[in-house]
Amino acid sequence: EIVLTQSPATLSLSPGERATLSCRASQSVSSYLAWYQQKPGQAPRLLIYDASNRATGIPARFSGSGSGTDFTLTISSLEPEDFAVYYCQQRSNLYTFGQGTKLEIK
């Protein structure tokens, strides 16, 4: 089973700042990595698929990069609605999720 490790566990930033979230895979997943956002009481929402492709309707401030084992989700300038939990997910070998990064308001 491929294990995804996200860092940091919690990220404290202010609106307008840049957020950088990391996801590391225990073995290469090529570019088969997605990012999701989940707010309290809501289902997750797809942000990025295949490492760098924005899903339909996702603002341009969200971007993804990486390949192989190291991936990054960047939010260029945080909006108040961006504070949430973010998960990475691989689909190279079935599916697994990372443990999540909580992005909180500083």
Partner 1 sequence: EVQLVQSGAEVKKPGESLRISCKGSGYSFTSYWISWVRQMPGKGLEWMGRIDPSDSYTNYSPSFQGHVTISADKSISTAYLQWSSLKASDTAMYYCARHTDSSGYSFDYWGQGTLVTVSS
Three-state SS at 81: helix
Among 82, 84, 87, 103, binds partner 1 (CB under 8 A): 87
- Ordered alpha helix ranges (H), the chain: none
Minimum distance between the CB of residue 17 and partner 1, rounded to whole angstroms?
Answer: 24
Stretch that binds partner 1, among 10-18, 20-28, 71-79, 97-105 (CB under 8 A): 97-105
**Most distant CA pair in the chain, distance:** 38
Integer angstrom CA distances of residue 64 from 9, 79, 106:
18, 17, 23
Binding part of the chain for partner 1, among 13-21, 59-67, 76-84, 89-97 by CB under 8 A, reads 89-97
Check binding of 44 to partner 1 (CB under 8 A). Answer: yes
